[in-house]
Amino acid sequence: MKTSAPVVPPRGRLLIFDLDGTLIDSVGDLTTAVNRLRGDFHLTPLPASTVRRYVGDGVRKLVERALQGHPTDFGTALAKYRGYYAHHMHDTTALFPGVAEGLRRLRAAGWQLAVISNKPADFCRALLARLGVADLFCCILGDGDTTALKPDPAPLCEAMRRAGATPAETWMIGDHHTDLEAARRAGVRSVFVAYGLGETGAEQPDRHCANFAALVATFAA
């Protein structure tokens, strides 16, 4: 019996997304894990507004900021935090409004999609699978997948390699200056989403989008 040929994904034309603050609203679960960790060291809980400012530079920086110089074995604290987050990362985290349908529209418009996060890679893939959108991405890269984290351009270069995309065909979409700096250093254009956790800092994105619907309209008109 004749079998149909496997579907080959399109090459080139790549949109790379940050995760926390760009695709998902995860502040509640990050705050829960941070405060469980602080409780172990008899520190008072932090409000979500403070934890928001600590996010964006990877889990090691988040733990450093969460403990605010409290003397401890850092390896132990990091392991504790990862354990707490693993147990609570699905409590309240959700896709931002319009993300699931928007990603499908972008795929239908001929874009390849990727995720690059400074969050540990296993958490990234587990979250996106739980939220039902993991299969929309040609690659999902997090801490542990490449030699460096954003703002280093290495993860973006790896995503482009996997997608067969050139810098001229690629956009980086994020809510933090680390996303924008990584884009600049990789030679790709960038979009800043204003609804997220971070700020542009000294970076100058090519475009701003107030919400995910505006982003979709930009690339899937």
- Active-site residues: which are they? 18
State how far the Cα of 79 lies from the Cα of 15, in Å rounded to an integer. Answer: 33
User: Encoding tokens for residue 68?
Assistant: 């605010």
How far apart are the C-alpha atoms of 166 and 30, rounded to whole Å? 34
Specify whether the CB–CB gap between 124 and 142 falls below 8 A: yes
SS3 102: helix
Q: What is the rounded distance in angstroms from the CA atom of residue 207 to the CA atom of residue 94?
A: 25
The rounded distance, in Å, linking the Cα atoms of 69 and 46 is 15
Evaluate the CA torsion angle 207, 169, 142, 113 in order and state its sign: positive
